[in-house]
Chains A and B, each alone.
Chain A
Amino acid sequence: MAPKIGVLALQGAVAEHERALRDSGAEVRKVRRPAELEGLDGLVVPGGESTAMARLAAPVQLMPAIRHRLDEGMAVFGTCAGLILSADKVSDAEALVGFERIGGLGVVVRRNAYGSQVHSFEDDLEVTGLDSPLPAVFIRAPVIEEITSPSVEVLAEAHGHPVAVRHGRVLAASFHPELTPDYRLHQLFTDLSAG
């Protein structure tokens, strides 16, 4: 049976993830309220602005609800802003203070670590488990500064920092696999959700 995967749809690159997940064989729906997490095997937390998503999630307590489902076994895939919301710690968290995040990924991230938009870039990455390089688009991307759990597996690095990691049922990338037609990372997540 196709795994049921949600895409957090508060704001950001939602349609792009929906398309990549459908292409990978998942049954997909949007999530904007805690009740919509029911029965999901996986959830994608997309790229967008983490500050906006954290504020939109707060009134309905969506972040703790996602964490609860993660602890129950739902898989989570965070890209860019989704990585920031999944990380256990954010080193420059001023604009996120007072708002709950998901957590569960044993890393420390820094938001906008590369600087403004003129420093955004594209790269081809060697990814553990993929047999050829993966095109990766980094847009005002966060950096994983530190890994704080021995269970975190680094799947790819760029410029000396981990950029794709896995920690149990959490997959995360500081780039945007939803912006390129190469959906192998989504396939990996769909398989992780099903398993």
Chain B
Amino acid sequence: MTSTAYNYGTPSTGATTVNTGLAQMLKGGVIMDVVTPEQATIAEEAGAVAVMALERVPADIRATGGVSRMSDPDLIKGIIDAVSIPVMAKARIGHFVEAQILEHLKVDYIDESEVLSPADYVHHIDKSKFQVPFVCGATNLGEALRRITEGASMIRSKGEAGTGDVSEAMKHIRTINAEIAQLRSMAENELYVAAKELQAPYDLVRQVAHEGRLPVVMFVAGGVATPADAAMMMQMGADGVFVGSGIFKAGNPAARAAAIVKATTYYDDPEVIADVSTGLGEAMVGLNVSDLPAPHRLAERGW
């Protein structure tokens, strides 16, 4: 039996209601990068709605360099055992065998992520072949719709991971919002060319034009490091936030994690955000995206 989810779900993709629906349950929440079972427990204790299991947070991937791959299955199993909330894990773009391994390990969501080194510079994973849901990164509407066509059940705007600089996250959500607003204002007979220009299927483009939003949940990622960053993304219309290096590269991870969770729920209340921002200690050091040479910008991976 299949049913159409509340203004989500679409006949033209492989995504099922249970898979797009899990992302709907995460809305208004914070998903945190963790590299050990101990960190996963701290994240759950702080009120994370899910954890992302990986070997190194993006800031360390940047520092270390080299090829970055899926984590050791043992680490992922340890994290699954440590928490009761959903566990996500990253596969390289196009690496369908890493995805098969993660599905076998029974992770709750696979992130086909530009933070790892791409395995295929042309094709993404055919996500419709999997039972486990996928979240994919996007910097614009066309990219988001191409990922949804391939079967992604959730989108995460990319930002620039591992920097603590929220400007790219802002750029990507503004771009996606603006492109959706533009579709909404178009006449019905202009949507064919809009689909051509977005390089996305007409049916999905038409659906976005009618509903005024993506057909799946969209979180924001890449550079969120403070409660104020998270609240700003929520005020921009994000369904929730991913925080990567921002928590465990900061001075007091447990306090910062709980503060970001609270700021995400009370994102429109400056009194709460001011309160939780007080006395958090040092934020992650951070890198200005404008200082990063182009080959080191992760958001440009994915096509």
Contact = CB atoms under 8 A, between A and B. Distances in A.
A59 B272 CA distance: 11
Interface in A161-189: 176, 178-182
Interface string B245-289: 000000000000010011011100000000000000000000000
A8 to B, nearest CB: 11
Contacts of A24: none
20 contacts: A9-B265, A10-B265, A11-B29, A12-B28, A14-B27, A19-B6, A49-B29, A49-B49, A51-B84, A52-B261, A95-B85, A117-B22, A122-B17, A139-B22, A139-B25, A140-B22, A140-B86, A179-B17, A180-B17, A181-B3
A112 interface: yes
Nearest to A54: B47
Contacts of B48: 52
Q: Which of A9, A12, A49: most chain B CB closer than 10 A?
A: A49
Interface string A15-53: 110011000000000001000000000000001110110
B29 A13 contact: no
Given A32-B266, A117-B108, A49 B261 contact: no
B64 interface: no
Contacts of A140: 22, 25, 86, 108
Given A180-B3, A181-B4, 8 more contacts: A47-B24, A49-B86, A56-B265, A111-B84, A117-B106, A117-B132, A180-B5, A182-B3
A178 B28 contact: no
B19 interface: yes
Contacts, number: 141
A94 interface: yes
A165 B146 CA distance: 42
Contacts of B27: 11-15, 48
Interface of A: 9-16, 19-20, 32, 47-49, 51-52, 55-56, 59, 80-81, 92, 94-95, 111-112, 115-118, 120-124, 135, 137-140, 176, 178-182
Contact of B84 (A13, A14, A92): A92
Contacts of B29: 11-12, 48-49, 52
Q: Which of A16, A80, A124, A181: most chain B CB closer than 10 A?
A: A16
B44 A95 contact: yes
A190 to B, nearest CB: 17
Given A112-B84, A122-B18, A51 B47 contact: yes
B3 A118 contact: no
A179 B21 CA distance: 7
Contact of B85 (A19, A51, A122, A182): A51
Contacts of B7: 19
B24 A16 contact: yes
Contact of A56 (B18, B85, B262): B262
Given A111-B84, A117-B86, A123 B1 contact: yes
Contacts of A55: 45-47, 258, 261
B126 to A, nearest CB: 17
Given A13-B24, A16-B24, A118 B106 contact: yes
A99 to B, nearest CB: 10
Interface string B1-40: 1111111000000001111011011111100000000000
A52 B18 contact: no
